[in-house]
Amino acid sequence: MRDLSSEQLVKVDVGTWFNRANPKLARNEYREERIPKLEQVLELCGNRSALIYVELKSDNQESATELARAVAELIRRFKSQQRVVVVSFDLAAITAVKAFDSSIRTGALFGSTRAGKQAYRADSILAATADCGADQLLLHRFLARKKLVEKAVQKDLPVVVWTVDDAQWIQRARALNVYALITNNPAGLLAAL
């Protein structure tokens, strides 16, 4: 899907796929559900107090800067600076968002060391997060180690852990002082509270 335009993406039936992939969570009303554009999401959320995480993905620096500008302009148009957190693994994209509008909240994403990537050290993650001007640190659950989370919290850097689908993470997140959890199954985690 990475090569599809936004006009092509909005035609993709993600609901039927989701129902097949997740039979325990499947619902008839999900059939033929489409991917919304960011503008539609911001419009739908209106004045609700929902916090929206928007992940930027791009192939190169030029497209990352162009995407950062377009997203920043849309967030400003909807006056959503305090309700949206723009996140990316591409920390240059986070820097670009901040350059376009410093009031937009941002987050630096760091992936799992189990995915074959180099092991990250706490100090290098925190330094990279500070260098790009991110307001939050988003860690894959395999990276959310006590030492790293504690150092981030000491620097007043909210830590968000993703993708958490195990309810046992709720207690761990509380003990670590994690700001938020991102999950594929919000209802499952809420039921565990």
Name the least confident of 24-38, 109-123, 132-146: 109-123
Q: What is the pLDDT of residue 113?
A: 60
Confidence of residue 116 (pLDDT cuts 50, 70, 90): very low
| Cα within 13 Å of Cα(152), Cβ side | 32
pLDDT in tens, 118-141: 557 899 999 999 999 999 999 999
pLDDT in tens, 40-68: 999 999 888 889 999 999 888 888 999 99
Confidence of residue 114 (pLDDT cuts 50, 70, 90): low
Q: What domains can be seen in the chain, in order of their start residue? A: 1-35 (no CATH), 49-191 (3.20.20.190)
pLDDT in tens, 143-185: 999 999 999 999 999 999 999 999 999 999 999 999 999 998 8
Distance from C-alpha of 162 to C-alpha of 178, rounded to nearest angstrom: 11
Q: Is 0.85 topped by the overall pTM?
A: yes
The answer, yes or no, to whether residue 99 has pLDDT greater than 70, is yes
Residue bearing tokens 């009303």: 29
